Structure 1
Amino acid sequence: MTWGTSSWGTTPWGVRGFAALPSPAAFTAATQDSECDAVFLVEMLPRTGATATVAYKPLTWGTYAWGTLPYSLPADPSIRIDWSDRDWTSRPDDTRANIHFEGRAEAPQFDRSIPIVPGSGRAAVSIGELIGVNADGAYDTYPDAYAVDATPVRVLALPKRSSLYSEAAVVFSGQGLDWWADSSLHVRMRDSGYLLDVPLCALYGGTGGIDGGTELAGKVIRQTYGLCRNITGDLINSSLLIYRGHDRLAQAVDAVYISGVPLTWDGATYSSYAALAAASVPSGQYTKWLGSDGSGWRLGSSPGGTVTADVRGDAVGGYVSDTAGVIRRLLERGVSTASLALSSFASMASYLPGTIGYHVSSQRNISAAATEVAIAAAAWWGDAGDGLFSVGRLAAPVGGGLAFGPEQIVDEVEPMALPDDIAPCIWRVDAGYRRNWTPLQGTDIAPVPSVPTEQRRQELAAQSRRSAVALIERQVRNQLAKPLVIESLFDAEADATALCNNLLTLYQQGRRYYRVPVGMSGYLPRLGDTISVTWPRWGLAGGKSLRVVGQRAQGRKVDLLCFG
């Protein structure tokens, strides 16, 4: 794979194939500045702004999802910037042979973190700044001449000056945001997640047929993932009573209701809008539409009430209904599968297997949609630092992992306050489940005997059902123990209850939050990893297992933020 006119190493950008992080011993030996022989390398590829010939017409609204192109476009020409924090040149037989990294870079700085409180925004975030010496004015014109936003930025570490380029470990992989020059060249950078801050849904054009009537022009085409109950479709053809519940192939339409009363399916399923429009549907019944051009249903007669449906959503590439599968399907609306750390999705599928449902009826960014799904399972998604998108869930620390003791810790360990939402502990967790995507009220619900039971009427009116677990004894010891409420997307009560129990265990009494200042060994653990910390004070004298929830890197010194 090439960027601009030169190859970027031998491994495609975003594929986890770079050298593994050096062994703990190698990085531990590079702990202190006074004795450190490590070298940081910086690689950037700003765009030149040159005009590239486009061989195809521009993307049109209403045909393809925003952020997905039906054809490839030529990349902007790029220049290469290779820096280091002290001059370093690769060898003739190295992966990138005879490349000089000019010693202009100051020690790189970046923060990355995952949330320790459910519902606390973007799941995994890495932000940072690179500063290069510009005392000679060599880079004065670069911010005006070239663009760094949305271009690749990597920071690599060599544990020793004698190391090969092929032995370099990637400690940050992301994208540029912007840059400016004074006596230094300042480059703001961020993880690749912000590239998904683009709209998820395509819009109706209002030209008729599958594109909707004029009343739908400019409105979003709904999307449905997993098992969604009681969704409202878009009436794209009022004369033929055709409703659309998903923008492309869905798995199934399980049921259609009028004011909560189920209709009879006519037994037919059509694979295209054209075939659906040409069909004949018996009065009082419905037929299904599951096609590559969209999915929904058609009624055989005017409804006379609110029309809703139970739909099993997106099936492009196979139907998915678990948390990891839905997040992956959303992310793949904006990036290729090669940009995903697939092992993390497989792992989450094993520990969060429950069926969920997620329905999109108003515009949001791909990143926001993925975050909503993750928050509903107290999980996270994002670029954890290596340029690939991962998913994970904060869990109680277990034994094992890297050990950090007085030899690796370079300053006093600092206990920090837990966030208010989970301090001093959680005594009760309440989770919603089986989301009702269109709550009905009053006369919206058909009268008895059409909807015969009070239980069913309450289900149609409520947004979700509730599950809760509690340990009253925690309030005896901690009178300010908090309740926690989470709106899950799980369909089954058992899965919602399992989520409640997991959170009750995670936020039990005695949890602590620490800042652990270490040397370059702080680059070794990944976000969410368990480590063991030993320190003479703060309950750490005998060693304690903690989860890494943040890294604050300043060159050869890294603060690990740990919870457990």
Structure 2
Amino acid sequence: MPYLMRAEPYDASIGAVRPLFFSDLGFTSEPADSPSNTYFVRRIETPLAVRRSLFSGSAIGGYSETSFGSATLANDDGKLDWLSDLDWDGRLVEILYSPQERPALADFTVLFSGAAEQLVPGDEIEIQLRDLLVLLDVPASRGQFGGTGGVDGTAELRGRDKPWLIGRRRQIEPVLINAANNVYMVDPAGFSSLLAARDMGVTYPAAVGDFASYTALVAASLTGTNVATSKTAGLIRLGQKPNGRFTIDAEGVKVSGAWVYRFADLVRHVVTSMTTVTGASLLDVSFAAFNGLQPAVLGYWCDGSSVPKVRDVIDQLADSVGAYWGFGEDRLLSLGRYDGPAATADFEFTERTIIDLTPRPVDRRMKALKLGYRPFGVIFTADELDRVNVSAADLEAFQNEYRWTAVATNAAAAGASLLATEEEGKTLFDTEVAATAERDRRLSLFSAKRKAFDVVVPLTPGLTVGHTVKLTDSRFGLSGGWRGLVLEIERDANDETLKMTVQG
């Protein structure tokens, strides 16, 4: 069947991307097509071999998995050797497919749309492929201190990344940027609210004022236990040096004048402010839907001493709410949540269209679960706390990284499965109510008895991870039709098959 490739590597000689068009059988677009009157050079050897997973590893929820694969071009004559002079990494590669023997360009559908990892030259040129998650493998950073003084920090801070805060976090330690004036930085992009400030666990009085800039904050008259802020500049100033470790509870950055704290809004902010991905590359309907699914307060704090990748930040947030996320063939970043198969299947396959059906093992049922919430950025030792002026409850709390929900148990799973597991998980939720709701949702899902299959079907454009499929077969209790969620796919364009792992 016909395949087309569209690629846009960067050509330094012209200072721009150079569009390239290839095919397996030879193809020319029509005058009304886009691109028009273009010959897709007959060079494709292997159209596509690619794997994509909903989650990393066997665990369901949270951690993304970059899809990877390759396509090859015939180059026995050496006429494509010049392709290795172009810059391919991160550049667009699209593979299109049509089941028709004599298709028009409009008959092709996108089978893969992602980025090149690199080009490997030879008699058979290999273009290694990744999906667009590679664009998020960049530092989650607000920039570095220059060490020139003021908000740029001292010489000792030169080169260190600036701290940043999104959502709500407790017991975090802002970065001292001016010891003479006791000025600390929370986030150069600003923060919304200072909820509490403490010295060795002892709470300071309420802030005496908020100032418009670093200059105004330093010029303010402060004494003793006075605390002042410049929330717009992301700064806090103390009237005197603290006796021990200075920590705060705070609410982070505002976006368009509003504090952001929900999972989808935090992902949007991190992606659009810390990567080259713009808002136009986000599937807005999925972000809006997730805000409805999970409106709870989350938080993430980076003090700048070590800098995570943007993808790692999103993974940690996603792990808290059971989300999956990634780029689709539409090249848009979307969010979803594993709630089991949907009530209506996106695709259906019967014995006539199922090439191979193999049961596969599933993870053990879960019988009990507890979740940690409200993580503390600073975990004190007993000697670091003011034992005289800190309450007994806080003395205990400040020495623990998390608070915990009660353990919830599913009696049916415990009674039916002798190997059912007792689990615990750590989240970035701020409240017990939100953590308890997520605990109960997960336990309901993972305490149920499940099935899983590896299924091989004809190459099906549009079918990808996160879709629900309905399988009907005389074997394995599927005669009445069974719905499962697609967790992983492998496309093999040479065989024109798609292998998927389905669970429900």
TM-score, normalised to structure 1, is 0.83
1:541 equivalent in alignment to 2:479: yes
Q: Is the 8 A contact 1:357 1:435 kept in 2?
A: no
Q: Hey, what's the Cα distance between the residues in 2 that align with 1:561 and 1:140?
A: 38
Matches within 5 A, 1:8-27: none
Equivalence map 1:249-328=2 (5 Å): 249-291=190-232, 294-317=233-256, 318-328=258-268
Aligned to 1:90: 29
Q: 1:364 matched to which residue of 2?
A: 308
2:124: which partner in 1? 184
Per-residue deviation at 1:298?
A: 0.6
**How far did 1:472 drift?**
4.1
Instruction: Confirm or deny that 1:207 pairs with 2:148.
Output: yes
**Structure 1 counterpart of 2:284, from 342, 355, 362:** 342
CA contact 1:94–1:164 (8 Å) conserved in 2: no
Q: Which amino acid aligns with 1:43?
A: R
Unaligned ranges ≥5, structure 1:
1-37, 52-75
Letter in 2 for 1:548: V
Q: Distance in 2 between matches of 1:370 and 1:355?
A: 15
- In the alignment, which residue of structure 2 is the partner of 1:34? none
Query: What is the root-mean-square deviation in Å for CA atoms of aligned residues?
Result: 1.9
Letter in 2 for 1:172: F
Asked if 1:220 corresponds to 2:161, the answer is yes
Cα deviation, residue 117, structure 1: 4.7
Structure 1 residue 505: Cα displacement: 2.1
- Cα separation, 2, equivalents of 1:93 and 1:380: 39
Cross-structure match for 1:377: 321
Match of 1:58 in 2: none
Corresponding residue number in structure 1 for 2:465: 527
Q: What residue in structure 2 maps to residue 11 of structure 1?
A: none
1:432 to 342, 350, 372: 372
Deviations 1:59-96 (A, max 9, x none): xxxxxxxxxxxxxxxxx323222112221221122232
Q: Equivalent residue of 1:374, what SS?
A: helix
Matched residue SS, 2:67:
strand
Superimposed CA distance per residue, residues 68-127 of structure 1 (whole angstroms, 9 cap, x where no aligned partner): xxxxxxxx3232221122212211222321112123212311111111755888414221
Q: 1:138 aligns with which of 79, 101, 125?
A: 79
Give yes or no for contact 1:112–1:384 (8 Å, CA) kept in 2. Answer: no
> What number of residue pairs does the alignment pair up?
492
Partner SS state of residue 127, structure 2: strand
SS at structure 2 position matched to 1:376: helix
The whole-number CA distance in structure 1 between the counterparts of 2:421 and 2:237 is 48
- 1:365: Cα distance to partner? 1.4
1:396–1:505 CA contact under 8 A, matched in 2: no
**Aligned-partner residue type, residue 212 of structure 1:** G
Higher mean C-alpha deviation, range 38-47 or range 182-191:
38-47
| Letter aligned with residue 454 of structure 2 | R
TM-score (norm. length: structure 2): 0.93
Counterpart of 1:66?
A: none
Q: Give 1:100's aligned residue.
A: 39
- What corresponds to 1:42 in structure 2? 5
2:158 is matched by which residue type in structure 1?
Answer: A
1:353 maps onto 2:298 in alignment: no
The answer (yes or no) to whether the contact 2:64–2:315 under 8 Å persists in 1 is yes
CA distance in 2, matches of 1:441, 1:306: 11
Change (3 A) 1:257 1:268: same
Change in 2 beyond 3 A, CA 1:121/1:266? closer
Q: Partner of 2:402 in structure 1?
A: 464
2:358 maps to 1:414: yes
1:554 maps onto 2:498 in alignment: no
Deviation at 1:385, TM superposition (A): 3.5
8 Å Cα contact 2:299-2:429 kept in structure 1: yes
CA distance in structure 2 between the aligned counterparts of 1:122 and 1:83, rounded to whole angstroms: 35
Q: Distance in 1 between matches of 2:334 and 2:146?
A: 35
**Could you list the per-position Cα deviations for residues 315-343 of structure 1 after superposition, in whole angstroms to 9, with x for gaps in the alignment?**
13332101111122111120211121121
Pairing 1:508-527 to 2, within 5 Å after superposition: 508-521=447-460, 523-527=461-465
Q: Deviations over 1:487-546 (max 9, x none)?
A: 11011112111211222122234212211111133x333321222111221222221110
2:414 aligns with: 475
Aligned AA (2:376): N
Partners of 1:458 and 1:308 in 2: CA distance: 16
Secondary structure at 1:359 match in 2: strand
Alpha-carbon contact 1:123-1:382 (below 8 Å) kept: yes
SS at match of 2:218: helix
CA distance in 2 between partners of 1:540 and 1:162 (Å)? 37
Deviations 1:172-199 (A, max 9, x none): 1111111123321110011111122121
**Distance in 2, Cα, partners of 1:41 & 1:520:** 15
CA distance in 2, matches of 1:503, 1:85: 46
Seq. identity, %: 26
Structure 2 match to 1:21: none
Give the 3-state SS of the residue equivalent to 2:414 in structure 1: helix
Q: Residue 283 of structure 1 aligns to a residue in which SS?
A: coil
| 8 Å contact kept, 2:62–2:318 | no
Q: Which amino acid in 2 is paired with 1:109?
A: A
Aligned-pair CA distance for 1:547 = 0.5
Out of 64, 70, 73, the residue aligned to residue 123 of structure 1 is 64
Mean alpha-carbon deviation: is it higher for 171-180 or for 227-236?
171-180
1:157 aligned to 71, 76, 97, which one?
97
Distance 1:458 1:180 in 2: 58
Bigger Cα displacement from structure 2, 371-380 vs 324-333: 371-380
